[in-house]
Structure 1
């Protein structure tokens, strides 16, 4: 019992909170993971449907969507890829990314097939994958402050501004 992680919470070690170092609660983290899994499934089916054509850009968009599906499932649900040797390594690396990095990566992956072939299938198929990126982006913004703390900050700001001017403002009687 040399480190604080080995000690029980009653022995002076800080108690485990519901948020990790990135500020996401457990339920929001699971919501993002669930959205990633559903987005991956949506991309896979839509990508397969897009490949049933003779138009080369539709085929390219469909292949890209299936690649997006594989990456989403690999990063968000590595247990689905248990026969892929590098699945746990990729998932561990993806978990180390900050939420804004995941947001940029997932949104960028979802936009590219829509740019290749703007059809209803690509838009609908990539919508949930894009929404996963949006959820991670919202978590990167952080928690919303309470109204009392915001009012105090505004009062301090106004008091600081009136103290900086140095002049006395006339008051109407």
Structure 2
């Protein structure tokens, strides 16, 4: 058993299959989960810092900080339900999200990260929400899947080149449009007027 398999067995969720159902690399799964967990903790702390803006009368940063703390709490509930053991529905919600495709989680994380930045354009909201947004980007990359092997990409490229070469007509009289009318000699309107035609 390799080190990666041992770490995977330790970090496996309860009730999760030991065999992976998708072809996403193990390091990318742990990068998404790790950045989601750590980034949401940082987002909550920086959201609290944004809420201190109420002392200076900055209502938009207060709302932005509250939104950022809420987004961080939601991401923690999804990515690390062990941090929220005192809330009974968190494990069920996390299991439901885990069954969804990766692009759903990517779109959700990217969407909940944006309002905080639009409300308060300060460093704490940009960095805190940026970590949640980056987690969404990682899940978006996971939804694309694994890249093909070099041999497979070369064979696909050769097949497309051959198909394009066989589809192009090689005759001298080939036209771009099959039903194009032939060009004829036309007389300019001024010449036709002068000649009395």
Tell me whether the two structures share a fold, i.e. TM-score over 0.5: yes
Report what 1:106 is aligned to. Answer: 109
Q: Given the alignment of the two structures, is residue 136 of structure 1 paired with residue 139 of structure 2, yes or no?
A: yes
> Against the structure 1 CA distance between its residues 165 and 69, is the aligned structure 2 distance closer, same or farther, given a 3 Å change threshold?
closer
Q: How many residues align structurally?
A: 153
User: Take 2:94 and 2:44, find their aligned partners in 1: how far apart are those partners?
Assistant: 19
Report what 2:24 is aligned to. Answer: 24
Mark the runs of 5 or more structure 2 residues left unpaired by the alignment: 1-16, 173-197
Residues 109-136 of structure 1: per-residue CA shift (max 9 Å, x gap)? 1111001111111001112111100100
SS of structure 1 residue aligned to 2:52: coil
Residues 117-156 of structure 1: per-residue CA shift (max 9 Å, x gap)? 1111100111211110010011111111122211111212
Report what 1:161 is aligned to. Answer: 164
Residues 64-121 of structure 1: per-residue CA shift (max 9 Å, x gap)? 0110111011000001100101111110111012111111110111111001111111
TM (normalized to structure 1)?
Answer: 0.81
Q: Given the alignment of the two structures, is residue 79 of structure 1 paired with residue 82 of structure 2, yes or no?
A: yes
How much has 1:168 moved relative to structure 2? 7.6
How much has 1:38 moved relative to structure 2? 0.9
Q: Given the alignment of the two structures, is residue 50 of structure 1 paired with residue 63 of structure 2, yes or no?
A: no
TM (normalized to structure 2)?
Answer: 0.72
RMSD of the alignment, in Å? 2.0
User: Take 1:40 and 1:112, find their aligned partners in 2: how far apart are those partners?
Assistant: 15
User: Take 1:109 and 1:29, find their aligned partners in 2: how far apart are those partners?
Assistant: 21
Report what 1:88 is aligned to. Answer: 91
